[in-house]
Amino acid sequence: MELQEQIIRTDYSELMQKSYIDYAMSVIVARALPDVRDGLKPVQRRTLYDMHELGIRYDKPYRKCARIVGDTMGKYHPHGDSSIYGALVVLAQDFKMGKPLVDGHGNFGSIEGDGAAAMRYTEARLQKLTQEAYLADLDKNVVDFVPNFDATEKEPAVLPVKVPNLLINGAEGIAVGMATSIPPHNFGEVIDGVIAYMKNPDITTEEMLEIIPGPDFPTGGIVVNKDDLVSIYETGNGKIKIRGKVEVEKVKGGKERLVITEIPYPMIGANIGKFLNDVYALVESKKTGDIVDISNQSSKEGIRIVIDLKKGADTQNLCNLLYKKTRLEDTFGVNMLAVADGRPETMGLVSVIRHNVAFQYELATRKYKTLLAKALDKKEIQEGLIKACDVIDLIIEILRGSKNIKQAKDCLVNGVTEGIKFKSRISEKMAKELHFTERQATAILEMRLYKLIGLEIEALMKEHEENLKNIAFYEDVLGSRASMARVIIKELKEFKKEYAVPRKTVIENAEEVVFEEKKIEEAPVVVLMDRFGYTKTIDVSTYERNKEAADTENKYIIHCMNTDKLCLFTDTGQLHTAKVLDLPSGKFRDKGVPIDNVSNYSSSVETMVGIYSLGDLKDVVLMFATKSGMIKVVEGTEFDVAKRTTAATKLADDDKVVSVNIVKESDTMVMQSKKNMFLRISISEIPQKRKAAIGVRGIKLSDKDELVNVYVLNEAQDNTIIVNEKEVHLNRLHIGKRDSKGVKK
């Protein structure tokens, strides 16, 4: 019998939507976001649990990270070793975590962004805090265990963390369509905040911020927008501004230097190197002339970035410059997103603590229910053993008279004496009155003879009394929320006493930094550019002394002010600008820098056809000529633009700019083609256009001919060139009409 083909018809968009939502929720809940209860992502939770299962405790020897990673991947986290080792490394880094949860041995990376050594070299074990506050009581049924990915192992759905880890260590994660970014906080302050909430569940964010004033980054620093924290911690969203800590040190010769001892938290890693480069850039761009040298002297003892200054430097103004122009002042974007009740939720400070406290009550309830059940079982057995000690002779008689254990147990539990030999009827009568429970009878039958020693019986009585006290305590804790709160608070205070550390980050309100740039004294300079594009500036007097050599050795010589801009026109029709201040200023024989380095001009893809200072372009017109013979004049003011690169003229396909010249209406121009056709016309014949126009035809060119040179002549000028070994006097050429062929030379 043939199976009928069954086609399930569904809307493609619905299928995609459902599939994408399933994928997104999987990433959100099972990969990228922490759980609000234990503050851990799944990979972190699984790694810590695996270390616990492997017995890598804080008081045991270190174990290879490769072993931990392999075991975690094989049992709980089948998403590759790099994610597990990455999580393990971060858990051990004291510059990223408020409280590191792993004790790393070996190279676990550095604050400057150096990566950790390979997992085969490094070793790790759990921290004492992790063992006591994160993994304790797992044997007391305090959390649910769920099957692992292949249902061969069980793993905790959440760790029984007794402190609000989400606030203590913060979190960072990028999911699908959402991300979390929670700063770390001070351990002792967070504990105090939890206790305050337990005493007053109606506590406001403002009141909570008196106890937890704000984030406490492991790198220290200064939070400068204290007034914004109320809104940030109320909504769970906002930006925290952090500055590095800068100290001023005196050195020999009356000089001073700035020493950065604390950095903003977002600067850790590669951003330290970027900060150093930014300071170099400030010096190179002449934003400051006070910095002599910068060196990174950071070590295991802490951050120490030294900036040596010139004598008499304004240190405060320089600090403001660093805050304004570098990452020494940075922002930490807060987005307190975590998984709560199986779904992502953005929470404020009090809300996070509320979820945590509810979790603490749940842990305590399950813990003390388990302890009470065990204590009641113990009580039952202890009472049976104590009762057995009172009638031990009778029990021995029953055991000696019984044929098997079943017969003896039946007698102890139900008083059945049939088949048991007794020494007397009194003993048999007493045996019939025995009513031990099943568990008591089993304990009596398994009891060893040494337990009958007087001291052992006394110890049993004492243990029983202690157990009764425990039962009363457990019942009190479970029966009264106030009693349970006292127990939780007591444990929290013990954690605080042992693990709290002083706050590192300062919280304050600071004014917006204002950097006053020193006004540059305006002065005339001469810009020299050689035929290779190396450019520099020299003062006018230096130029005058070396005029002959300067004119001979350089392709372009521009007289301008040091505050001016250079306008570079290229054959591709582009205009590139460069600040004169960006050019090196010095001696006449200094080499200079390639013009490519201080502008967007690229000598490898375009050719410069004209260079002028912006000051020269005011109140003048520029004439453009292209190889296809198109010409136009444009007002120079059109090229006063803020952009570093813009289009200077519109070009037809395959056309290029041949020359850009400053002209006057009284001037004439001579166009020379590749086939040595010459046409002289008056500048007044050329129409004025906008820079976005192509222009008009200046000379009629024959096939395969193109414009190669343009000469601008004034009345007093005698311009002579050599063509085919003959002199051509350009100023003697007949002035013709635009758009004519010209004359052959």
Report pLDDT digits (tens) over 526-543: 999 998 899 999 999 999
Q: Can you tell me the mean pLDDT for 35-53?
A: 95
Residue 560, domain member (yes or no): yes
DSSP reduced 3-state for 626: strand
Q: What are the tokens at 655?
A: 């056309």
**Of 47, 37, 742, residue with least CA distance to 351:** 37
* 484 and 534 assigned to the same domain: no
* 634 and 588 assigned to the same domain: yes
Does pTM surpass 0.85? no
Q: Rounded mean pLDDT of the chain?
A: 90
**Domain of residue 70, CATH code:** 3.90.199.10
**Domain of residue 314, CATH code:** 3.30.1360.40
Work out the pLDDT band at 673, boundaries 50, 70, 90. very high
- Alpha-carbon gap, residue 64 to 254, rounded angstroms: 53
Instruction: Give the residue numbers marked as catalytic.
Output: 121
Residue type, 325: K
Work out the pLDDT band at 15, boundaries 50, 70, 90. confident
State residue 1's pLDDT score.
46
608-613/565-570 β-pairing: antiparallel
* 567 and 711 assigned to the same domain: yes
* 703 and 571 assigned to the same domain: yes
The packing angle between helices 481-499 and 349-390, to 10°, is 110
* 463 and 570 assigned to the same domain: no
Residue 397, domain member (yes or no): yes
**Domain of residue 458, CATH code:** 1.10.268.10
* 574 and 619 assigned to the same domain: yes
Residue 420, domain member (yes or no): yes
256-262/305-309 β-pairing: antiparallel
The pLDDT > 90 percentage for the chain reads 63
* 261 and 375 assigned to the same domain: no
Adjacency order of strands within the sheet including 237-243: 171-174, 179-182, 329-335, 237-243, 222-223, 506-507
Looking at 133, 160, 187, the residue that finishes a domain is: 160
* 306 and 382 assigned to the same domain: no
Residue 389 backbone dihedrals phi, psi, to 5 degrees: -65, -30
- Alpha-carbon gap, residue 565 to 684, rounded angstroms: 29
* 574 and 707 assigned to the same domain: yes
Q: Can you tell me the mean pLDDT for 88-100?
A: 95
Number of alpha carbons in the 13 Å side-chain half-sphere of residue 360:
26
Q: Using alpha carbons only, what angle is made at residue 557 by residues 560 and 691, rounded to the nearest 5 degrees?
A: 70
Residue 73, domain member (yes or no): yes
Residue 38 has pLDDT above 70, yes or no: yes
Domain count, the chain: 4
The 10s digit of each residue's pLDDT in 636-647 is 999 988 889 999
Q: Could you tell me if residue 513 is left (phi over 0), alpha (psi between -120 and 50 degrees) or otherwise beta?
A: beta
Residue 346, domain member (yes or no): no
Work out the pLDDT band at 266, boundaries 50, 70, 90. very high
Work out the pLDDT band at 54, boundaries 50, 70, 90. very high
* 426 and 563 assigned to the same domain: no
Each as own residue / partner, the long-range contacts of residues 409-413 (CB below 8 Å, 24 or more positions apart, any chain) are 409/441, 409/442, 409/445, 412/436, 412/440, 412/441, 412/444, 412/445, 413/437, 413/438, 413/441
> Are the CB atoms for 571 and 598 separated by under 8 Å?
no
> Are the CB atoms for 424 and 443 separated by under 8 Å?
no
State residue 409's pLDDT score.
85
Residue 134, domain member (yes or no): yes
- Alpha-carbon gap, residue 218 to 96, rounded angstroms: 6
> Are the CB atoms for 242 and 222 separated by under 8 Å?
yes
Bigger pLDDT: 38 vs 25 = 38
Greatest mean pLDDT range, 244-248, 289-293, 380-384, 413-417:
244-248
The 10s digit of each residue's pLDDT in 616-669 is 888 899 999 999 999 999 999 999 888 899 999 999 988 999 999 999 888 899
Q: What is the DSSP string of 214-273?
A: S---TT--EE-BGGGHHHHHHHSEEEEEEE-EEEEEE-GGG-EEEEEEE--GGGSSTHHH
**Domain of residue 652, CATH code:** 2.120.10.90
Residue 573, domain member (yes or no): yes
State residue 2's pLDDT score.
53
Residue 335 has pLDDT above 90, yes or no: yes
* 590 and 695 assigned to the same domain: yes
Q: Could you identify the residue written with the tokens 């099957």?
A: 147
Q: Can you tell me the mean pLDDT for 349-370?
A: 96
Residue 27, domain member (yes or no): no
* 323 and 374 assigned to the same domain: no
Structural domain including 145 reads 40-160
